[in-house]
Structure 1
Amino acid sequence: MSGQAKIKTLSLFSGAGGLDIGFSQAGYEVVGCVEIEPAYCQTLQANSGKGKLLRHAEVNCVDIKEFDPAPYVGVGIECVIGGPPCQTFSAAGRRSGGVLGTIDARGRLFESYCRILKAIRPKVFVFENVYGLPGANGGQPWREICKAFSSLGYSLRAEVVDSADYGVAQHRERLIIVGYLAGVPDFEFPEPTHGPDSSTGLPLVSVYDAISDLQDDAEPYHEFDGLYGHLLSLVPEGLNYSFFTREMGYPKPFFAWRSKFHDFLYKVDQCAPARTIKAQPGKFTGPFHWKNRHFSVQELKRLQSFPDDYEIVGKYGKAVEQIGNSVPPRLAYVIAQSVREQLLRGRTDLTFPVRPAGFESTFRKRQRERTNHYKDVAKAEVAKRFSNVVSIETALVNRSEEYFVRYRGNFTKHFSSSMEEGDLGDVSYAVKERREGANVHIDVGLASVRAKSVKEISIDISGLSKYLIDVDTLECKARISTLDDLFRVWSIIEAVLIKGSQFYTLIDIYGHYANRGDTVRVITSIKARSKSALMRAIEYFGQSSSAGIFMTQEDVAQELKMDQSEVPDLVAELRSLRWDVRTPKTHPTIRQKAILCTYPFPLLSGKAQLERKVDLS
């Protein structure tokens, strides 16, 4: 690179600087960064200036739609890099509310990208995004984005790559688009630098390879706290919560199959690359260290291939977010070097050879092989831990009991064998529970108030035997005063189902709404002389066949025999009763005029903050 002018580069959607690091390491001069998030801009500022990696970078903390590229026009910028936020095309977006693609404002940020390309006219641009972009919404957003770039005179090369194949200690699939103007030589993607698809003979970089010098051999194994914390120490390396499912052979399951996302209780295999690091993990979301703890920021930087001396500004959660949202700098370096040598500073002896004719990546095939491998690991571990147990069976008996449940609010309850006087504000229910083999019958009635009008509710659940050892069906008959009581009826049902099992919540049994099949089925009916729209909605969404699917507001209005203009207010009422009904107002990734009710029952955990997302403006 000596004797050659630096390649002036403008970075868009810079984040914490993952792309910028890789391009700077490859000899590019990042002269400007554009990023909207102040916390990320602080990280970019901390790493720019004299003696820093981003020495010449001017940090523009501004919305890309308001960014004026004029100061960067005519100053010799040859390359533009960056990729807009990916939530509208991502798998996580699909699971939380659906893929909006270019319908959502965030999905149209490529237009700002094109506006800046048109003004600056760099020879080359590098655009990265989630691997699911080409297939999102039938490919329509992908075609629109490609057409927009092509209309500016750029030829395009695009590939989905796995970062692990390029020396990163983490499997992370990203879509990379390289665009170049006419007159610039054609571009070919470099072949993998590591793993079975490479010609180097270098193995994939494992977690331990990346962080071994940061480890203390004397560090004890940790005990993790919280509802599921004690299970972490039982998870074999490379596995997650699914280790505790019947499908993996666990004799007495803690979870239904696909009841959680794959990162839940995920513990890395230290001898292999980690799964993708998430930007906003929950308490029980991995990757976890093999000694049963979260990774440190320094360790996560290594797994994402950040330089040790690159400063991530912010407390732990914000640092993890920035790392998890970044492009791995090592992958960025390989792409940057290939762009440099093929398109901008031509040379024949390439640092990274291009993919040979007929090259076909095997990372998806290897992904399936890893899945099968860890299934074998799980089965072997179960066989070792339960060597004398083929399956656990409970003798099915006929029995009955009566008890009372007193509630203070929704989340504090007390069971007793006799009616107890409670404080003002307490509500008590009389419960008769009868078991006939694998069938459970529950009768719930109000014990603490004398209602003027009583509503009768029936809830029928079937298909439980796949996960619960001694229960297949549950039939609940409840008499309630108001629909507020329905939440507590479901809370009683949950308590009955998890009693005697190793499950912790109803959702653990039912399965996550985005992943479940139709194993557990729910039917809800309300007996009343006349039914309000709210009652009809609870009946409708209280069917498992109506939950977990997207519907138009028009369809919902038709099903519930109401005017479409009344639907938003109905949604607010349902959410006030803790039914997780989602619309574009509550979840921005929901498609316009769509509705999703995630479960056929209310959210029973006090940690589920439905009110926080409601926006009726």
Structure 2
Amino acid sequence: MPQKKIKTLSLFSGAGGLDIGFHAAGFDILGCVEIEPAYAASLERNRGPDRLFGPKLNVHCQDIRTFDPAPYVGVGIECVIGGPPCQTFSAAGRRSGGVLGTIDARGRLFESYCRILKAVSPAVFVFENVYGLPGANDGEPWREICNAFSRLGYKLRAEVLDSADYGVPQHRERLIIVGYRDRTLSYEFPMPTHGPDSENGPDLVSIHDAIEDLQDQEEPSHVFDGLYGHLLQLVPEGLNYSFFTREMGYPKPYFAWRSKFHDFLYKVDRNSPSRTIKAQPGKFTGPFHWKNRHFTVPELKRLQSFPDEYELVGKFGKVVEQIGNSVPPRLAQVIAHSVKEQLLRPTKKLKFKRRESGFASTFRQRQRDRTNHFKEVAKREIAERFSNVTHLDQPRENSKEQFFAGYEGFFNKEILNNRPKSESTKRYYKVIEERKDQHIDLVVSPILVKATRKIEIRISGLSKYLLHVDSLTCKAMMHDHDDIFRVWDLIEDSLTKDSQFFTLIDIYGHYANRGDTVKVSTRISGEKKSSLEKAIEFFGSSENCGQFLSDSDIESVIQCGRKETRTLALKLREMRWDVRLPETHATIRDDRVLCTYPFPLLSDKAQLERRRSA
């Protein structure tokens, strides 16, 4: 006699990753609650006759905080599944502006989860989130969430699992919490089904194994466009931008160590699982196919273990977002079977064996081993490519040159050898660049307008990344504060033109990861400085950037009140300084400010529009 299906309610359903896995394990998904219309449309597309979910599924496209669970009370719901948005606990959130955890409204969504658990009273729930949740904000949100579940009468088991250990061709760590009411039962997470931690299981599923039948054997290697596109062809499989760093042994680096995130120019090793697929990748964000292109939607579905026939609604970017935000269905299916067989339909004959006492996953050690392996790959590749290189480019001889730079706005620039005519509408600057040994002296003066202030910028510690330059001093006269952006643009030109670096950030390093090798200081002349000039000096120092500061830290230096601090920060953003505060980034607390770099963002692609908290 077939078992009765397990009636299940899905919360924060997304595109259905958990739901697909639980459905395949014999769970009957009666309802899905999902706020995002495109995601809800994908769920709708897959319900109905001859569809994966069947016609009984109800899709509720609404905010869970307003969702009324009454229709699911008293109808035999045995299981609730789902996990709230993870941005307030994620590593990406920490990098973009900090983790608020349960302080942020999104971090309080577990309360709605608990409200629905209390109303529906299932025997079991399965809650998933980012692996960093237990450690976020010293563990305070984690304790609060666990206590909330415990007060509802649930015993909890929690573990971080790598989806690759369960047959997914992708390394993706997720925190899984299983809560159950029947304390006469016990639950243990299933043993890995694949890889070295499994008991005689198959190897981890490689990308090649997962998508081989989707490949065109005649497909040529692609040429990727854009600023960094030509480098993608040079990246060995399994490596990323760090291949081009001095730390990896690249003879003439393109990037400082940790100047980008690890997905930047990441090209997969086709014979291994991929790194985590991102929901909102940038143009140069991997994983990239070994043919130097982005993966197609059918390929990405395979890497996330979605069924081929499962339809996702929306344009390419929205579909990629849905895939990247999903729990891999294959991992969900293994969890679902273990929950069913240990807690809801107990049986001694388990499809997936329970972990024994003392089991310890090795995926973190394997992660370190992979890093060391790819360092060796880089070392061998560099030795082979540069086997005939006996010396690097000779340093430039000591030199001194003069030219004129004209700007219309921030980004329209021209360089002239001769002084421009006075009737020009552009702002012109006389530039004198003198190079002596490993030092650059740069003198910048506006012409055709009156200069009223002097600024001095000093940069040191460059020789770790630049082959022949260790320091730079720029002395510039200013007509107005917009001149500062143009001065920094000229500094970037001076530092990059005799190197393979593309931008100042590539040299300085990403604010969240850099090792503080490059030091920057800024001084504006005069005893009577405006609050804005004091703010420029303060944030123009590398000592005050890349870390959260309280209002009082800034007020004591600039000698202004909290309201003026906020006004100054927004003014600096207009000048393209990436100063972040609650009014611009929802994940920053009310009493904190973060300035990412001690210089303005020089790329016209960098967006600094003002975004208020939700």
TM-score (ref. length: structure 2): 0.98
Structure 1's 616 and 350: CA in aligned 2 closer, same or farther, altered over 3 A?
A: closer
Structure 1's 285 and 616: CA in aligned 2 closer, same or farther, altered over 3 A?
A: closer
Q: Which residue of 2 aligns with 1:4?
A: 3
User: For the aligned residues, what is the CA RMSD?
Assistant: 1.2
* Letter of the 1:176 counterpart: I
Deviation at 1:391, TM superposition (A): 5.3
* Letter of the 2:576 counterpart: R
Distance 1:616 1:229 in 2: 35
Deviation at 1:423, TM superposition (A): 7.0
Distance 2:391 2:148 in 1: 59
* Letter of the 2:376 counterpart: D
Tell me the alpha carbon deviations over residues 146-175 of structure 1, each in whole angstroms, 9 at most, x when there is no partner.
000000000000000100000000000000
Structure 2 contact 155–183 (Cα < 8 Å) conserved: no
Deviation at 1:384, TM superposition (A): 0.4
Count of matched residue pairs = 613
Q: Which residue of 2 aligns with 1:217?
A: 217
Q: Which residue of 2 aligns with 1:98?
A: 98
Q: Which residue of 2 aligns with 1:441?
A: 441
Unaligned segments of structure 1, at least 5 residues: none
* Letter of the 2:191 counterpart: E
SS of the residue aligned with 2:463? helix
Q: Which residue of 1 aligns with 2:286?
A: 286
* Letter of the 1:11 counterpart: S
Deviation at 1:390, TM superposition (A): 5.6
Q: Which residue of 2 aligns with 1:343?
A: 343
Which piece of structure 1 moves more, 421-430 or 456-465?
421-430
* Letter of the 2:48 counterpart: G
Distance 1:389 1:357 in 2: 55
Deviation at 1:429, TM superposition (A): 0.4
Q: Which residue of 1 aligns with 2:309?
A: 309
Tell me the alpha carbon deviations over residues 280-335 of structure 1, each in whole angstroms, 9 at most, x when there is no partner.
00000000000000000000000000000000111110000000000000000000
Structure 2 contact 207–271 (Cα < 8 Å) conserved: yes
Structure 1 contact 393–470 (Cα < 8 Å) conserved: no
SS of the residue aligned with 2:533? helix
Deviation at 1:389, TM superposition (A): 2.4
SS of the residue aligned with 1:551? strand
Structure 2 contact 461–518 (Cα < 8 Å) conserved: yes
1:512 to 503, 510, 513: 510
Q: Which residue of 1 aligns with 2:366?
A: 366
Q: Which residue of 1 aligns with 2:194?
A: 194
Q: Which residue of 1 aligns with 2:274?
A: 274
Distance 1:562 1:616 in 2: 24
Q: Which residue of 2 aligns with 1:488?
A: 486
Distance 2:514 2:429 in 1: 32
Distance 2:131 2:391 in 1: 41
Deviation at 1:459, TM superposition (A): 0.2
Q: Which residue of 2 aligns with 1:40?
A: 39
Q: Which residue of 1 aligns with 2:582?
A: 584
Q: Which residue of 1 aligns with 2:353?
A: 353
> For 1:393-412, what aligned pairs fall within 5 Å after superposition?
393-412=393-412
Deviation at 1:356, TM superposition (A): 1.8
Q: Which residue of 2 aligns with 1:604?
A: 602
* Letter of the 1:476 counterpart: C
Deviation at 1:422, TM superposition (A): 7.5
Deviation at 1:577, TM superposition (A): 0.6
TM-score (ref. length: structure 1): 0.98
* Letter of the 1:15 counterpart: G
* Letter of the 1:104 counterpart: D
Structure 1's 95 and 391: CA in aligned 2 closer, same or farther, altered over 3 A?
A: farther
Distance 2:555 2:539 in 1: 13
SS of the residue aligned with 1:461? strand
Structure 1's 422 and 508: CA in aligned 2 closer, same or farther, altered over 3 A?
A: farther
Deviation at 1:450, TM superposition (A): 2.9
Q: Which residue of 1 aligns with 2:57?
A: 57
* Letter of the 2:392 counterpart: I
Is 1:126 aligned to 2:108, yes or no? Answer: no
Deviation at 1:260, TM superposition (A): 0.3
* Letter of the 1:605 counterpart: S
SS of the residue aligned with 1:373? helix
Deviation at 1:395, TM superposition (A): 3.0
Is 1:203 aligned to 2:203, yes or no? Answer: yes
Is 1:22 aligned to 2:21, yes or no? Answer: yes
1:522 to 520, 523, 529: 520
* Letter of the 2:9 counterpart: L
SS of the residue aligned with 2:33? strand
Structure 2 contact 259–510 (Cα < 8 Å) conserved: yes
Which piece of structure 1 moves more, 408-417 or 114-123?
408-417
Unaligned segments of structure 2, at least 5 residues: none
Deviation at 1:560, TM superposition (A): 1.2
Which piece of structure 1 moves more, 2-11 or 323-332?
2-11
SS of the residue aligned with 2:141? helix
SS of the residue aligned with 1:306? coil
Deviation at 1:528, TM superposition (A): 2.1
Deviation at 1:554, TM superposition (A): 2.3
SS of the residue aligned with 1:358? coil
Tell me the alpha carbon deviations over residues 427-453 of structure 1, each in whole angstroms, 9 at most, x when there is no partner.
1000000011100000000023234xx
* Letter of the 1:30 counterpart: I
SS of the residue aligned with 2:238? coil
SS of the residue aligned with 1:466? coil
Deviation at 1:425, TM superposition (A): 3.6
Counting aligned pairs with the same residue, the percent is: 66
Is 1:557 aligned to 2:555, yes or no? Answer: yes
Q: Which residue of 2 aligns with 1:166?
A: 166
Structure 2 contact 130–175 (Cα < 8 Å) conserved: yes
* Letter of the 1:9 counterpart: T
Q: Which residue of 2 aligns with 1:543?
A: 541
Deviation at 1:183, TM superposition (A): 4.5
Tell me the alpha carbon deviations over residues 457-501 of structure 1, each in whole angstroms, 9 at most, x when there is no partner.
000000000000110000000001111110000000000000111
* Letter of the 1:99 counterpart: V
Deviation at 1:354, TM superposition (A): 0.6
SS of the residue aligned with 1:343? helix
* Letter of the 1:261 counterpart: F
Deviation at 1:45, TM superposition (A): 0.4
Deviation at 1:572, TM superposition (A): 1.0
Tell me the alpha carbon deviations over residues 112-134 of structure 1, each in whole angstroms, 9 at most, x when there is no partner.
00000000000000000000000
Tell me the alpha carbon deviations over residues 176-216 of structure 1, each in whole angstroms, 9 at most, x when there is no partner.
00000034611110000000000033100000010000001
Deviation at 1:254, TM superposition (A): 0.4
Is 1:265 aligned to 2:270, yes or no? Answer: no
* Letter of the 2:440 counterpart: V
Deviation at 1:358, TM superposition (A): 1.2
Distance 1:388 1:542 in 2: 43
Q: Which residue of 2 aligns with 1:378?
A: 378
Structure 1 contact 263–286 (Cα < 8 Å) conserved: yes
Deviation at 1:555, TM superposition (A): 1.9
Distance 2:73 2:426 in 1: 69
Structure 1 contact 153–182 (Cα < 8 Å) conserved: no
